[in-house]
């Protein structure tokens, strides 16, 4: 037997021994994996039972608190605080256990387990998520500049718009995965502004509804008088010739403008809150301030122009 063949035979025997060790290690791994899966299922079941019982206990305490004495009310309040703390502990425990995806992840990914089981894996995913946002922000910035000043083609604009859509869709998926792994977005600032913003949205919708009927009626009258053709659209807001009935809408318009200013002031205050770490709050405050200034000054300009026109007509013999 040649020396080369002997070396090959020795290497094969070494590989055979390592393979046997690998098989044994893999068997132990599968056994531990089955034990881990069973333990995960047991923990998830116990947590769900605990949460259900705590929920029932919380409702019972709330009903009992209505007719409880002072000492009993203090005890109920203390138990309620303990229940809330226990729920937070369960949230941290569930971050390391497989769970069903939410509706959004189910629609996008299906019933796929996206739970990361170690702190190292969670940190690595979070770090990669932040890098993804940074790199894509730079690419989108360069793309916007290129499309604005260099590439004046429809194809490049469509590619840029597709990249925007892809970026934000991917971002929502990654954020949903982070939330499934125990990420807790700070919702305190949003909760402080939520009611005010929803009320503003309702009021704004009502004003736009009134504005639509005013513009529609005004344009219909002008077409009937022959002052506008049949294809004119009132998409540019209030014009100086739209005066009939405008005085009825002016209080609502100015109220909406000052509500925008109120939103800006509220957001500026929230941006200086000790628990506010997001820069978006300050930028949103600036946005509402710019909206207020633009809308308010434009409305004043229209009203001033119409009043000036009426004065000039009155001076003519």
Q: In three state form, how does the secondary structure of the chain look?
A: CCHHHHHHHHHHHHHHHHHHHHHHHHHHHHHHHHHHHHHHHHHHHHHHHHHHHHHHHHHHHHHHHCCCCHHHHHHHHHHHHHHHHHHHHHHHHHCCCCCCCCHHHHHHHCCCCCCCCCHHHHHHHHHHHHHHHHHHHHHHHHHHHHHHHCCCCHHHHHHHHHHHHHHHHHHHHHHHHHHHCCCCCCCHHHHHHHHHHHHHHHHHHHHHHHHHHHHHHHHHHHHHCCCCCCCCCCCCCCCCCCCCCHHHHHHHHHHHHHHHHHHHHHHHHHHCCCCCCCCHHHHHHHHHHHHHHHHHHHHHHHHHHHHHHHHHHHHCC
Q: Which residue ranges in the chain fall short of pLDDT 70?
A: 1-2, 184-187, 218, 220-246, 310, 313-317
Q: So what's the pLDDT on residue 313?
A: 66
Mean of the per-residue pLDDT values for the chain?
82
Q: So what's the pLDDT on residue 237?
A: 40
Q: So what's the pLDDT on residue 138?
A: 92
Summarised one tens digit per residue, pLDDT across range 203-243 is: 988 888 887 877 777 676 666 666 555 444 444 444 444 44
Q: So what's the pLDDT on residue 238?
A: 41
Is the pTM value of this prediction over 0.75?
no
């Amino acid at each position: 037997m040649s020396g080369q063949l002997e070396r090959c035979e020795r290497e094969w025997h070494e590989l055979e021994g390592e393979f046997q060790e690998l098989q044994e290690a893999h068997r132990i791994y599968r056994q531990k994996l089955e034990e881990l899966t069973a333990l995960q299922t047991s923990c998830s079941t116990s947590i769900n039972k605990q949460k259900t019982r705590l929920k029932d206990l919380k409702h019972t305490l709330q009903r009992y608190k209505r007719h409880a004495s002072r000492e009993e009310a203090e005890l109920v309040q203390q138990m309620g605080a303990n229940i809330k703390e226990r729920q937070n502990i369960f949230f941290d425990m569930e971050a390391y256990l497989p769970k069903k995806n939410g509706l959004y992840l189910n629609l996008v990914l299906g019933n796929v387990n996206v739970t990361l089981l170690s702190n190292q894996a969670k940190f690595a995913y979070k770090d990669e998520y932040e890098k993804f946002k940074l790199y894509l922000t730079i690419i989108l910035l360069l793309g916007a500049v290129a499309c604005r000043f260099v590439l004046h083609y429809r194809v490049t604009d469509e590619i840029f718009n597709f990249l925007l859509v892809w970026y934000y869709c991917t971002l929502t998926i990654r954020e949903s995965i982070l939330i499934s792994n125990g990420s807790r977005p700070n919702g305190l600032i949003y909760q402080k502004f939520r009611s005010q913003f929803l009320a503003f949205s309702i009021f704004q919708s009502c004003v736009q509804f009134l504005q639509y009927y005013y513009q529609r009626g005004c344009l219909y009258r002008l077409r009937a008088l022959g002052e506008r053709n049949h294809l004119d659209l009132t998409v540019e807001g209030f014009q100086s010739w739209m005066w009939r009935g405008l005085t009825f809408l002016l209080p609502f318009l100015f109220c909406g403008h000052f509500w925008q200013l109120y939103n800006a002031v509220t957001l500026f205050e929230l941006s200086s809150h000790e628990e506010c770490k997001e820069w978006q709050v300050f930028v949103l405050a600036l946005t509402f301030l710019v909206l207020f200034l633009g809308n308010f000054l434009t409305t004043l300009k229209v009203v001033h122009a119409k009043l000036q026109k009426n004065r000039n007509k009155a001076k003519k013999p």
